[in-house]
């Protein structure tokens, strides 16, 4: 058996050496790595095939021994014993002890059968080793292929980034109005991915002012807002305000409650709080309820909520103030499940903090999305230095924007969302200080790094 050893720094080079020396049908017996060197033991295909056939001079290749058995005597069918044997039988029994003549042939047959059986076992063992070696080679080849695909994807991403950077650099020189639009959108807080998508769709032969008007029109058109609160206040139902801690859920609940009381009276409204964690957390809503003349119910779990909603099924509107949970907490999933299993159609309104970063807002939406959000309320508008970040999330996540909150007063500081006003406000806030934060040489790299968001394919351009 001519087993050869091949060494190389990598598995790929070692396999190449095996293929060059033994051909593509070579059998790999082992593959190991030590001290940064890959060592492969391989066998040519012809040598592997010869393992299945014994050597002409080996005992396995010799024919089975023929047994030298005495010829059987013949006699008539009417005789029960041969005549000669019948005459000699008394003398033989008297002169010789009993002999077991059948045993030596049986032992010879067993010995003759033992040699081929041992050879078959050796062949099975070799076949198992070859199969294990082939399986190891396949596993190593799969791992090597995975690594190669990762390298190819990395190289592809690098090439795409460099090509996009070169393309945007030439675009910046050829169409300077696009660079001006990009600066305006980044200064307003919009993401580079949304800015890149809209700038790529920007109609040609327009100056910077016309381009900005087109951008504002498209952004306004893609904010889904509630034009009339009758759909919420007059229709009624069960609404739960959800979101992380400190986004203004309790205050927004009180503002909505005041609007419902002014429209339908306190008897048509019920308030529920699930905030049993914070010290005095439910007391704030109770104070609002006392001012409005509305009873506030406190629940701890899904069973309590189910019972409370069953008792309040005759109310026109039920508002649920939920406990604030971080978007990275497992309790978010439990809270969404509790509201979904409450035995009623609970519509969830997500409170989005306008002062939060875009990455944080995206995490919040993904965490609280669940089976779907009825809408969202933009809070802390008066505290935000820029609001393009939250508007960007509303556009890309296709959220229905119901209200915006810009203060603590109840119920004055709650307004219906006006898309045109919000877009105009986004471009006015922080424009002067942020427009020059990126140098001309940095814009191509920024645009190249902006990934393509699949949600942007649904942005309405006209």
User: Residue 362 is part of a domain; what is its CATH number?
Assistant: 3.40.50.300
Q: Same domain, yes or no, for 281 and 406?
A: yes
Q: Where do we find the tokens 């910077």? A: 208
**Does a structural domain hold residue 335?**
yes
Claim to verify: residue 319 and residue 243 sit in the same structural domain:
yes
Contact 370, 340 (CB under 8 A): yes
pTM of this prediction? Answer: 0.61
Residue at 184 is within a domain: yes
Alpha-carbon span 240 to 338, nearest angstrom: 11
Are 10 and 38 in contact, with CB atoms under 8 Å apart?
A: yes
Chain centroid to CA 461? 31
Q: What is the C-alpha separation between 242 and 244, in angstroms, rounded? A: 7
If asked whether residues 153 and 291 sit together in one domain, one would say no
- For residue 314, count CB atoms less than 10 angstroms from its CB and return exposed for 0-12, middle for 13-18, buried for 19 or more: exposed
Instruction: Give domain status of residue 307, yes or no.
Output: yes
- pLDDT per position in the chain (462 positions), as tens? 578 888 988 878 888 898 888 888 777 777 787 777 888 888 787 776 665 555 555 554 555 555 444 444 444 434 444 444 444 444 444 444 444 444 444 444 344 444 455 555 567 777 788 888 888 888 888 888 888 887 787 776 666 555 555 655 566 556 778 888 888 888 888 988 898 888 888 888 788 889 899 999 999 999 999 888 877 888 889 999 999 988 999 999 999 999 999 989 999 999 999 876 665 667 788 888 899 999 899 888 888 899 999 999 999 999 999 988 888 888 888 888 889 888 888 999 999 999 999 899 999 999 998 888 999 999 999 998 889 999 999 999 999 999 999 988 888 889 999 999 999 999 987 655 444 466 665 566 566 556 656 556 567 776
- Rounded-to-integer distance, Cα 143 and Cα 124, Å: 29
192 and 285 inside one domain: no
**For residue 49, what pLDDT is reported?**
63
In a domain, 73, yes or no: no
Q: Are residues 380 and 410 in the same domain?
A: yes
Q: How many CA atoms lie within 13 A of 135 on its CB side?
A: 6
- Does 87 map to a domain? no
Residues 287 and 148 in one domain: no
In a domain, 103, yes or no: no
381 plus 240 within the same structural domain: yes
3-state secondary structure the chain: CCEEEEEECCHHHHHHHHHHHHCCCCEEEEEEEECCEEEEEEECHHHHHHHCCCCCCCHHHCCCCCCCCCCCCCCCCCCCCCHHHHHHHHHHHHHCCCCCCCHHHHHHHHHHHHHHHHHHHHHHHHHHHHHHHHHHHHHHHHHHHHHHHHHHHHHHHHHHHHHHHHHHHHHHHHCHHHHHHHHHHHHHCCCHHHHHHHHHCCCCCCCHHHHHHHHHHHHHHCCEECCCCHHHHCCCEEEEEECCCCCCHHHHHHHHHHHHHHHHCHHHEEEEECCCCCCCHHHHHHHHHHHHCCCEEECCCHHHHHHHHHHCCCCCEEEEECCCCCCCCCHHHHHHHHHHCCCCCEEEEEEEECCCCHHHHHHHHHHHCCCCCCEEEEECHHHCCCCHHHHHHHHHCCCEEEEEECCCCCCCCEEECCHHHHHHHHHHCCHHHHCCCCCCCHHHHHHHHCCCCHHHHHCCCC
Q: Are residues 186 and 302 in the same domain?
A: no
Number of domains in the chain: 3
CA-CA distance, 109 to 217, in Å (whole number)?
Answer: 99
One domain for residues 373 and 435? no
Domain edge (last residue) among 107, 137, 160: 160
Asked, for residue 428, whether it belongs to a domain, the answer is yes
Whether residue 209 sits in one domain with residue 322 = no
**CA–CA distance, 144 with 153 (Å, rounded to integer):** 14
3-state secondary structure labels for all residues of 140-159: HHHHHHHHHHHHHHHHHHHH
Asked whether residue 439 is domain-assigned, the answer is yes
Co-location of 258 and 187 in the same domain: no
Domain coverage including residue 362: 225-416
Based on the fold, state whether residues 356 and 371 are members of the same structural domain.
yes
């Amino acid at each position: 058996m001519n087993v050869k050893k091949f060494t190389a720094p990598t598995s790929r080079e070692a396999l190449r050496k095996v293929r060059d020396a033994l051909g593509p049908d070579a059998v790999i017996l082992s593959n190991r790595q030590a001290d940064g060197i890959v060592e492969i033991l391989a066998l040519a295909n012809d040598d592997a095939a010869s393992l299945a056939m014994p050597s002409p001079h080996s005992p396995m290749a010799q024919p089975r021994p023929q047994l030298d058995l005495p010829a059987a005597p013949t006699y008539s069918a009417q005789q029960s014993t041969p005549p000669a044997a019948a005459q000699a039988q008394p003398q033989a029994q008297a002169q010789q002890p009993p002999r077991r003549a059948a045993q030596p042939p049986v032992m010879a047959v067993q010995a003759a059968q033992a040699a081929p059986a041992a050879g078959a076992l050796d062949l099975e063992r070799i076949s198992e080793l070859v199969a294990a070696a082939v399986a190891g080679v396949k596993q190593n080849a799969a791992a090597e292929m995975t690594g190669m695909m990762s390298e190819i994807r990395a190289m592809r991403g690098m090439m795409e980034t460099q090509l996009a950077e070169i393309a945007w650099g030439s675009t910046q020189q050829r169409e300077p109005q696009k660079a001006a639009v990009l600066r305006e959108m980044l200064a307003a807080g919009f993401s580079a991915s949304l800015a890149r998508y809209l700038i790529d769709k920007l109609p040609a032969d327009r100056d910077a002012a016309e381009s900005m008007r087109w951008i504002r029109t498209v952004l306004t058109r893609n904010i889904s807002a509630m034009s009339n609160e009758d759909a919420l206040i007059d229709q009624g139902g069960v609404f739960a305000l959800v979101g992380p801690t400190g986004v203004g859920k309790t205050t927004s609940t009180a503002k909505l409650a005041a609007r419902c009381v002014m429209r339908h009276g306190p008897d048509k409204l019920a308030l529920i709080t699930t905030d049993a964690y914070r010290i005095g957390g439910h007391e704030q809503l109770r104070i609002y309820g006392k001012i409005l003349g509305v009873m506030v119910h406190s629940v701890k779990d899904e069973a309590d909520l189910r019972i409370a909603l069953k008792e309040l099924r005759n109310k026109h509107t039920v508002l649920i103030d939920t406990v604030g949970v971080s978007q990275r907490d497992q309790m978010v999933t439990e809270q969404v499940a509790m509201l979904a299993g409450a035995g009623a159609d609970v519509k969830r309104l997500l409170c989005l903090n306008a002062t939060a970063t875009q990455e944080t807002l995206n995490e919040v939406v993904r965490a609280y999305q669940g089976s779907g959000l009825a809408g969202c309320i933009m809070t802390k508008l008066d505290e935000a230095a820029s609001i393009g970040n939250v508007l960007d999330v509303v556009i890309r996540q296709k959220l229905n924007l119901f209200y915006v909150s810009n203060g603590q007063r109840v119920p004055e500081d709650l307004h219906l969302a006006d898309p045109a006003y919000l877009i105009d406000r986004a471009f006015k806030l922080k424009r002067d200080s942020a427009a020059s934060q990126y140098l001309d040489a940095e814009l191509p790299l920024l645009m190249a790094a902006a990934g393509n968001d699949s949600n942007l394919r649904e942005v309405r351009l006209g």
